[in-house]
Homo-oligomer: A and B are copies of this chain.
Amino acid sequence: MWIQTRVDVAMSESTRPGRPRSTDVDQAVMSAALDLVSASGFRAVTIEAIAAKTGVAKTSIYRRWPNRAAVIMDAFLARVGTQPLFAPDEGFLEGLRRQLRTMAKSFRGEDGELVKALLAESQFDPDLASAFHDRWTMPRREMALEHFRAGAERGAIRRDADLEVAIDMLYAPFYYRLQMGTGPLSNAFVDGLFDQVMQGLRP
């Protein structure tokens, strides 16, 4: 599960010698991190604060993660999980519209705050940036791309369309509005966006 962000340990979990790491610590740290983000914002999530709140020693945290950003990254991903965005039996248009609305809702809430903070912090931390890229951005893009490819195959959209660009057009505005505050991520907005993008993709 842990790629990039978490400190790797040499051997496989089961055969490693010594006292095994307590999973309570992982849980306590990650949920405290999320609590602190909610309560006081990203900048309040210091290792010291997590240690104080949980009773976990700083050393135990640093044994697992290289810095605070990595903790939050993991906490966030453990929360949002990695379920598929699209159901295989759903129609192209219905599925896409549903997913966009779900995403908008999620971005309007706490997830949006987390995405915003992690994306921002990424600009200053290369490790976090690549973790965010590999574990958040790309998996979602891939799923979207797959959905689009299937749609194209089934004739729901033009075959010669540049899908990468289409995905940018569709998803970039979510991040843009999230960060810029130029307008709400309402369902009306999502529908307008959806319609206008589909306008250009009709076969």
Q: Which residues of B contact A200 (CB under 8 A)?
A: 196-200
A84 adjacent to chain B (CB < 8 Å): no
Q: Which residues of B contact A198 (CB under 8 A)?
A: 200
Of the candidate stretches A2-10, A60-68, A88-96, A164-172, the one touching chain B is: A164-172
Q: Which residues of B contact A124 (CB under 8 A)?
A: 41-43, 117, 120
Q: Which residues of B contact A177 (CB under 8 A)?
A: 168, 172
Known contacts A124-B120, A173-B169, A200-B199, A164 near B183 by CB under 8 Å: yes
Write the residues of chain A forming the contact surface with B, with a CB cutoff of 8 angstroms.
41-43, 116-117, 119-124, 129, 133, 137-138, 141, 161-162, 164-166, 168-169, 171-173, 175-177, 179-183, 189, 192-193, 196-201
Report the nearest B residue to A181, measured CB to CB: B133
Q: Which residues of B contact A121 (CB under 8 A)?
A: 120
A115 → chain B, closest Cβ, in Å? 10
Whether the pair A196, B120 counts as a contact (CB closer than 8 A) is no
Can you show 24 pairs from A to B with CB atoms below 8 A apart?
A: A42-B124, A43-B124, A119-B123, A120-B121, A129-B181, A133-B180, A133-B181, A161-B196, A165-B173, A168-B172, A168-B173, A168-B182, A168-B183, A169-B172, A169-B197, A171-B176, A172-B173, A175-B176, A175-B179, A175-B180, A196-B201, A198-B200, A199-B200, A199-B201
